[in-house]
Structure 1
C-alpha cells in the first residue's frame, strides 16, 4: 500500500481528499500545520506528499524547498492561490 502525506490546514478539504484516496487503497497521513510537516515526512516516510501552499506555521513553498535539500520525494502542490511565483 502506498503512503501519502497530506499537508493541508482546511480540515473539511483534507477529509474529502483522504476519503477519496483511501477508496483507491492509499494510506493517508494528515498534517494540519506547516511547522509540523518536515517532522511528519521523517516519521511517516511517505511515497508522495500532497502539499498546500498556504499553511499556518510554515509556508508550503518553504517546506518544499527544505524537502528538496535532502530528498527527491515526489511533491504535488495543492493550492487556491492564483499568483504563484516559483
Structure 2
C-alpha cells in the first residue's frame, strides 16, 4: 500500500509502529533521529511520515518545519507521534506544519485510522 517513514528513537515504539503498519500492508522505513529522517524523506520520498516529537538533537517539530519548507518534501503528510497531551500541544504541533498527531502510547486502531485519513486525499 503506502511507504511510511517512521522517525522514532524509542526501540519499543519503533517496533510497535513497524509491526502495526506492516501488518496492515504498508512498507515501513525506519529512522532513529531527525537528521536521518530528513535524509530518508528527501531520498526515498515516502507517502507519509510519522514523526516523534521528542528526539535527541533536533526535535521532531524542527524537522517537520524543515520538511515543509523543502520543495522536495513539503507535500508529504506528517503525523506527529507525541506523549504530550497538554493544552496547547496540538496547536504547537500544527504550527510546526504537522498534518495531525497521534498520542502515545500508540493505539493500533487510532494509528491505522490516522494513517488512512492522512493518505486519503481530501475532495
Could you state the TM-score of these two structures normalised by the residue count of structure 1?
Answer: 0.91
Cα deviation for residue 38 of structure 1 reads 0.9
Between the aligned partners of 2:39 and 2:57, the Cα distance in structure 1 is 13
Between the aligned partners of 1:38 and 1:14, the Cα distance in structure 2 is 17
Q: CA RMSD in A?
A: 1.2
Q: May I ask how many residue pairs the two structures share in their alignment? A: 86
Unaligned segments of structure 2, at least 5 residues = 96-123
Unaligned segments of structure 1, at least 5 residues = none
Cα deviation for residue 37 of structure 1 reads 1.5
**For residues 1-80 of structure 1, what are the structure 2 equivalents within 5 Å?**
1-70=1-70, 71-80=74-83
Cα deviation for residue 57 of structure 1 reads 2.1
Between the aligned partners of 2:47 and 2:20, the Cα distance in structure 1 is 17
Between the aligned partners of 2:41 and 2:14, the Cα distance in structure 1 is 17
Deviates more, 1:7-16 or 1:33-42: 33-42
Cα deviation for residue 82 of structure 1 reads 3.2
Could you state the TM-score of these two structures normalised by the residue count of structure 2?
Answer: 0.66
Between the aligned partners of 1:57 and 1:37, the Cα distance in structure 2 is 12
